[in-house]
Amino acid sequence: MKHKPHYTLMHELMASPVNPMPAEKTRHQLTRMHSGLESLERGESPNNDDWRVLSDAVNLMETLIEMGEVADAQGLHKDAMAALAMAGKRHLEGKPLRLDGEGIKALRALLTDYAEVLAVLPERTMVRCHRRTEKRIHEILVGKRRPHDVEVMAI
């Protein structure tokens, strides 16, 4: 499987080492993520893209945790990951692609934390995070899993 990353090393090097990501990039990313959450909460017909954009948020936060940029003292990341896994599993069983109440709370909180992170971390750190996340997802898709990868799901 040919891997064509969205971000390259050049993007990382050209990104600001001190200033956060530009507001328009942040706004675009967060708008898509919140739209996906709203769709899975109460949309008429939530779809795979809604689920995927929330998975992106969870995967990016996991990378930030691994990079030591954020901590997950309350286990919020694991709760959000479990919620998406359950929604995906139900969808694969032919049921609606929905989150339960606890899953909605976990993902709302995760998106709040992610927005706070975007506001303070340098753009270069976030581009590095995206690059590492893309690489890890590619490795998973070609069968290179890590011991803590609980469940890999593509819907």
pLDDT tens by residue, the chain, 155 residues: 566 778 888 878 888 999 999 999 999 999 999 999 999 999 888 999 999 999 999 999 999 999 999 998 888 899 999 999 999 998 999 988 999 999 999 999 999 999 999 999 999 999 999 999 999 888 887 877 766 555 545 55
**What is the reported pTM?**
0.87
Instruction: Report how far residue 37's alpha carbon sits from residue 148's, in angstroms, rounded to the nearest whole number.
Output: 25
Instruction: Report how far residue 20's alpha carbon sits from residue 109's, in angstroms, rounded to the nearest whole number.
Output: 21
- The DSSP secondary-structure symbol of 152 reads -
Task: Please report, for the chain, the start and end positions of each structural domain, with discontinuous segments joined by +.
Answer: 9-141
DSSP string, 37-56: HHHHHH-SS--HHHHHHHHH
